[in-house]
Chains A and B, each alone.
Chain A
Amino acid sequence: MKKSAVLASLLLVAGLVGFLVLPRYLASAPPVEAQASLGKPAPDFQVVDVTGEPVALSALSGKYVVLEWWNHGCPFVQALYQDGKMQEQQRAWTGRDVQWLVVCSSAPGKQGHVTPEEAIRLQTEAGGVPTRILLDPQGVLGGLYGARTTPHMFVIDPQGVLIYAGAIDDRASKNYVEQALNEAFEGRPVSEPLTVPYGCSVKYGANPDETRRSK
């Protein structure tokens, strides 16, 4: 009986070690990434739109959200708006209760930087019908989502998961955002969830990293 007590206590300690130590590693396993990643919950943000109303991604849960990076001075954006392709998508999807957020990350003094009034005027003149226009002159939203180009498109599903990131279209007939939303509305997985965006670079302001490696 005594021998089994020693065994039992040793096993107990070994068990404790196992159960206390290992889960700590496992629990801390997924490093919390503050950056958008496809198939993962999209990072939340709280900003004020051009009309002064607060916008939070978390408050939009339950709805599809589209983020469109916009710079009215970029020829790629201009071409899309002149052809009406972007507004067509905005109209089609906001009509189905999709929250379409236009984001401008141009820094002060850089191409595409606008005041709230200018942003409203430019979108109205172009016939744009986004749900909201967000100005991000510090590039915080852009950094959070890794936005590279104008346009760069992101689609977030009602559960808040990022389901598409990439170009608006294949520069021919296929519109990737339309395809992603169509598939999602039909309950299917997005067939092309990640594409290479094209266009002008997002005109971020100088950041501390800028001088680091430029040659």
Chain B
Amino acid sequence: MPLFTRFALVFALLLGLFLTGGARAAGPVRDGPVQAELVSELEAWQPGATQWVGLRLQMDPTWHTYWQNPGDSGLPTGITWKTPEGFQVGELNWPYPLRTEMAGLVSLGYEGTVLLPVQVQVPADLPAGRPLTLSAEATWLACAEACVPGQASLELTLPVATAVRPGPHAAEFEAARAALPRVDADLQAQAWLEGDHLVLGFRLPTALAAAPVVEFYPTQGMDLELAAPQRLSRTGEDLRLELKRSPLNPQPPRTLKGILVRPGAEGWALALEAAVADAPKVLPVQSSLGEVRSLGVALLFAFFGGAILNLMPCVFPVISLKVMGFMEHGAQGRAQGMRQALLFALGVLVSFWLVAGALLLLRAGGQQLGWGFQLQSPLFVVLMACLFFLLGLNLVGVFEVGLGLTRLAEVGANSSGSWGSFLSGVLATLVATPCTAPFMGSAIGFSLTQPVWASLLVFTVLAVGMATPYVLLAAWPGLLRRLPRPGAWMETFKQAISFPLFLTVVFFVWVLDRQAGPEAAAALLTGLVLLGMGGWLYGRFWMSGRLLPRVLAGVFLLAGLAVGAFGAEGLASAPNPGQDPTSWRPWSPQTVESLLAEGRPVFVDFTASWCLTCQANKQVALNRPEVQEAFQEREVVTLRADWTHRDPQITRALASFGRSGVPLYVLYSGIPGDPPRILPEVLTPGLVLQALQELPASGASRKEST
């Protein structure tokens, strides 16, 4: 290559460099719909100081550029720096973005003008006077309906001075910094998985706690479906934000990182980072009976709840069986009584573990289930009805299958007597599930948010609480001595206590009617008749030793079960919602939200047909004329959330109140920011009336309360 050519080449390169350098602009540079500029808060470089510069983007109307996480599409604005020697430039800082949605896709970005501030460390040994230039290559994507990528080479030249004054952009820097997500140690947050949602539970710092609306924007990733509405609910100070997970990404994130934003004119943003757990560590639980915030309190509640469970209507039929057992073995002394009571307790314990185990297992599988979940299955209801019908027939004497359940202890070594006690414990637990006793709801609700060992501990204590009265009874010889001696009267007593069992059957038939319709209920009744025939054949002919009646008895018994089960499965029709004499409207989260938005007070009855406590409350309190009148007078909208069938939405709503079962009664005052009030599990008209009385003045006179 000739020397001249080489020289020309070098010259051209130098010229090129010079020209591109010359294209760098100290002022704003426009590319497409965006004008970009490097600006400084101060008028000069201050040696040794850390000061702010920033990338200022001015978008044409309708155009936006993007935040660090652009959302469903787009690209974050980027910048690379070329600094004078000794200067150090930090990362871009991102004021909280504006969320816009177009055709189901969400953008997180900026409209109008945005200043992305950066901290610059100026070296200490700069001679004053000489101007120094900071240059940068900025790239961005601007989108309106269409998208245009943009870039600019920018320069910022400032003199060096020891005394510096704020420049013309100082106020903008102030505003930009105010819009940066703050790190606040008082923000307590945790995240956990609930089905296809990630739930963010948090408490805002006191100064910000009054914010009516907050949203969460993740800083990165493919974890969330940004277009899905984020449902915010509040219990006291505790906020709960439901974030839909992206269906594309089956892998839940380990940590949820992003910002909490209160959008709007008085907006702010808080930086948030929370580890994602399978279940919340401490779910905010609040009830009229006090808050359950620690395992100790939960255990205490569980114990009392278990003991009180014995007084709830569900367990009554089994209690009569149990009393019978006491009478029978009472005569045999304290040691024997104690043994049977402990076996009963063991039966209760084991079945609580089974129920809890099944519940935890199914919840781990992503099911939205709670206490009493098995009663949401019509088949289970049918089988319980059959079981109780057979027990009743047995007690009334249609057939004598040995001595079984009712003869709890004849001889100390009698193994089936022991089994009987154990099984009556199992039975007591099975029939107890339609009931929730006071204290119990909070305890179970809390336990399900805990690690497995803690949940099992709570269930164990619940079982212990339930069995304790019997053990105490057995350990109290004075009472046992007062029991009449066993004799012929016991046969009468045994027959008499069959009737509560038949009443239980009526309850199950009614539940099935509600759940699966009248056809299913009719099939169940037919099945019960077949069971009756089977039992009768068995009782009448079993001892005869002839084969045919035995086979027939077996056939009828099986046929009875089969017809009942078929009814539950095959004939299930539109459930019979039943006629409510009162003005209850169906519940949905949206209904509650929109009513509250209107400022209307709302009462929600979380109930289920199979929940006996709920039915009792309805009759005793909620449906009473004076209570209904009070609802109307205070203009309270009454909503009913029916959990007779499985309903994940209701299960989630229950969980948001720290519950896992019904009944639950919630009264919203309709005043923004006012936490809803939770009424006890067992209602009286007085209780409801008082709660309604205490509602702040409604309607036009409504004011911001504390």
Answer whether A and B are interacting partners. yes
Interface of A toward B, CB cutoff 8 Å: 1-7, 9-10, 13-14, 16-17, 20-22, 24-26, 29-31, 33, 35-40, 73-76, 107, 110-111, 139, 143, 145-146, 148-149, 165-166, 194-207, 209-210, 212-215
Q: Inside 8 A of B387's CB, which chain A residues have their CB?
A: 10, 13
B99 within 8 A of A: yes
Q: Decide if B263 is an interface residue (CB 8 Å cutoff).
A: yes
Residues of chain B contacted by A5 (CB below 8 angstroms):
401-402
Given the interface contacts A3-B416, A7-B416, does A209 sit within 8 Å of B104 by beta carbon?
Answer: yes
Which residues does chain A contribute within 8 Å of B402, judged by CB atoms? 1-6
A29, B377: Cβ atoms under 8 Å? no
* B379 sits at the interface (CB 8 A): yes
Contact at B419–A149, with CB atoms within 8 Å?
no
Q: Closest CB-CB distance, B101 to chain A, in whole Å? A: 5
- Listed by A's residue number, 18 A-B pairs whose Cβ atoms lie within 8 Å are A2-B402, A7-B404, A20-B565, A21-B380, A29-B366, A30-B366, A35-B248, A76-B147, A148-B73, A194-B249, A201-B72, A202-B73, A202-B103, A203-B145, A204-B103, A212-B229, A214-B101, A214-B102
Interface membership of B608, Cβ < 8 A: no
Interface size class of B (residues with CB under 8 A): 35 or more
| CB of B67 to closest CB in A, whole Å | 13
Q: With A38-B250, A196-B221, A209-B104 given, is the CB distance from A9 to B401 under 8 Å?
A: yes
Q: Given A6-B402, A26-B365, A37-B248, A204–B104 Cβ distance below 8 Å?
A: yes
Q: Which residues of the other chain, A, contact B416 by a CB distance below 8 angstroms?
A: 3-4, 6-7
**Closest Cβ–Cβ distance, residue A62 to chain B (whole Å):** 24
Complexed CA–CA distance, A40 and B404 (Å): 52
* Neighbour of A2 across the interface among B98, B366, B390, B400, CB < 8 A: B400
Query: Measured between alpha carbons, how far is A32 from B431 in the docked complex, in Å?
Result: 33
Whether A25 contacts B367 by the Cβ 8 Å rule is yes
Task: Out of A7, A36, A143, name the residue touching B419 (CB < 8 Å).
Answer: A7
Bound-state CA distance A37–B250 (Å) is 6
Q: How far is the CA of A30 from the CA of B403 in the complex (A)?
A: 45
B460 cross-chain contacts in A, Cβ below 8 A: none
Residues of chain A within 8 A of B221, CB atoms compared: 196
A59 CB to nearest chain B CB (Å): 24
Query: CB-CB < 8 A to B75: which residues of A?
Result: 198-199
C-alpha gap A142/B111 in the complex (Å): 27
* Bound: A42/B395 CA distance, A: 58
Say yes or no for B362: interface residue by CB 8 A criterion.
yes
Also in contact, A20 and B379, with CB within 8 A (given A10-B423, A37-B247, A74-B147): yes
Question: Which residues of the other chain, B, contact A30 by a CB distance below 8 angstroms?
Answer: 366
B220 / chain A contacts, CB cutoff of 8 Å: 196
Is the beta-carbon distance between B104 and A207 smaller than 8 angstroms? yes
Verify B374–A21 contact, CB threshold 8 A.
yes
B66 to chain A, nearest CB (A): 10
Is B148 within 8 A of A194, CB to CB? Answer: no
- Given contacts A29-B362, A200-B146, list 11 more A-B pairs with CB under 8 A: A6-B416, A13-B387, A20-B383, A20-B565, A25-B367, A31-B196, A199-B73, A200-B147, A201-B105, A207-B103, A210-B101
Inter-chain CA distance A207–B105, complex, in Å, is: 11
A200 / chain B contacts, CB cutoff of 8 Å: 73-74, 143, 146-147
Q: A101 to B195: give the CA distance in the assembly, Å.
A: 33
What separation, in Å, do the CA atoms of A29 and B367 have in the docked complex?
Answer: 7
**Which positions in B face A, CB cutoff 8 Å?**
70, 72-75, 98-105, 107, 143, 145-149, 195-196, 220-222, 227, 229, 246-251, 263, 358, 362, 365-367, 369, 373-374, 377, 379-380, 383-384, 386-387, 390, 394, 400-405, 416, 419, 423, 426, 561, 565
B391, closest chain A residue (CB): A10
Chain A residues with CB under 8 Å of B195's CB are: 31
* Residue in B closest to A199 when the chains form the complex, CB atoms: B73
Q: How far does the alpha carbon of A22 sit from the alpha carbon of B362 in the complex, in Å?
A: 9
Q: Known contacts A146-B247, A212-B229; is A110 also within 8 Å of B145 by CB?
A: yes
Q: Are A111 and B103 in contact (CB under 8 A)?
A: no
In the complex, chain B residues whose CB is within 8 Å of the CB of A31: 195-196, 366
User: Is the Cβ of A210 less than 8 Å from the Cβ of B104?
Assistant: yes
Asked whether A75 lies within 8 Å of B149 as measured between CB atoms, the reply is yes
Contact A111 B358 (CB under 8 A): no
A24 to B572, CA, bound (A): 15
| CB atoms of A29 and B403 under 8 A apart | no
- Chain B proximity of A23: nearest CB distance (Å): 10
Q: B100 touching A215 by the CB < 8 A rule? A: yes
Contacts of A210 in B (CB 8 A): 101-104
Q: Which residues of the partner chain A approach B565 to less than 8 Å between Cβ atoms?
A: 20
Q: How far is the CB of B504 from chain A (nearest CB, A)?
A: 15
User: Chain A's nearest CB lies how many Å from the CB of B554?
Assistant: 11
Known contacts A33-B247, A146-B246, A148-B73; decide if A24 and B101 are in contact (CB<8 Å).
Answer: no
The CA of A29 and the CA of B366, in the complex, are separated in Å by: 7
Find B148's partner among A9, A22, A75, A206 (CB 8 Å cutoff). Answer: A75
Closest CB in chain A relative to B424 CB, distance in Å: 10
- Give chain B nearest CB distance to A170 CB in angstroms: 13
